Amino acid sequence: MTSERLEQIYDKYKDHVYRLAFAYCKNKADAEDIMQEVFIRCFSLDIDVENEAMLKSWLFKVTVNKCRDMFRSLRYKYSLTAVPLEEADITYETPEESDVFRAVMSLPTKYRTVIHLYYYEGYSVKEAGEILGINESAVQTQLYRARKKLKNILGKELRL
């Protein structure tokens, strides 16, 4: 790949990868580290496909795997029982934004990730399952349980 192509890929997907990593890690520093690792891996393996959707989902797969690796590391396993949301860089414009975002971030990791892929990135159940390496019924179950938990946290049904 040429330098121009690498930059093109980076500029197009950096925020998507960063946001997915943030949804998983809940803090900016780790999300940035993961984003950098994802692109270095992509570029060093010379991964490039003509189908942009395939490239994006490949980047997401690597992102999820990198996040999982990080959470498996000693730091997360033994130092932190629950990862807090780093609020410093988050801007809320309305109280509803704050309530909903915090509610999603308070969900267990697997529910946050599936909510992000399905509702934010607009992936289908099948596509989200492929990215996460789980089957469709598991995605549907996780989405159902995530919505149920959100309803409990917010005290009312979240409009989708």
Partner 1 sequence: MNIKDYKRVMDRFEADEKCKEEVFDMLKRENKIKLNKDYTEDVSGVEVRHGSNITKYIGIAAAFALVAGGICTTSVLLHNSRNGSSQLAEVIEDESEETTETSEQYDYYAIAQELTDSYLECVNIVLNGDISYDTEDYISFYVYDTFKEFEDERRFFKVTDKRFGSCQDVYEYYRGIAGPDLPENFMDARNVDDQAMIKLWLGGDVSELENGSRVNINSEDMSSVDVSAQSVNSGVYIDYNGQLYVADVVTHPYKYSVLDIKSVYTNEPELVETGAESFAALRTINNIHYGDDGEISSETNNKKLFTFALINGEWKIDSVISQ
Binding characters for partner 1, 53-82, by CB under 8 A (x = yes): -----x--xx--x--xx-xx----------
For residue 51, give the 3-state DSSP assignment. coil
The two structure tokens encoding residue 93: 């414009």
Q: Does 114 bind partner 1 (CB under 8 A)?
A: no
Q: How far is the CB of 42 from partner 1 (least distance, A)?
A: 10
**How far apart are alpha carbons 44 and 140 in whole angstroms?**
35
**How far apart are alpha carbons 112 and 53 in whole angstroms?**
22
**How far apart are alpha carbons 5 and 10 in whole angstroms?**
9
Is the dihedral angle over the CA atoms 150, 82, 20, 67 positive or is it negative?
A: negative
Cα atoms found within 13 Å of the Cα of residue 34, Cβ hemisphere only: 30
Binding characters for partner 1, 13-42, by CB under 8 A (x = yes): -xx-xxx--xx--------x--xx--xx--
Q: Does 50 bind partner 1 (CB under 8 A)?
A: no
Contact residues: partner 1, CB under 8 A: 2-3, 6-7, 10-11, 14-15, 17-19, 22-23, 32, 35-36, 39-40, 43-46, 58, 61-62, 65, 68-69, 71-72, 89-94, 96-97, 99-101, 104, 109-110, 115-116, 119-120, 130, 133, 135, 154, 156, 158-160
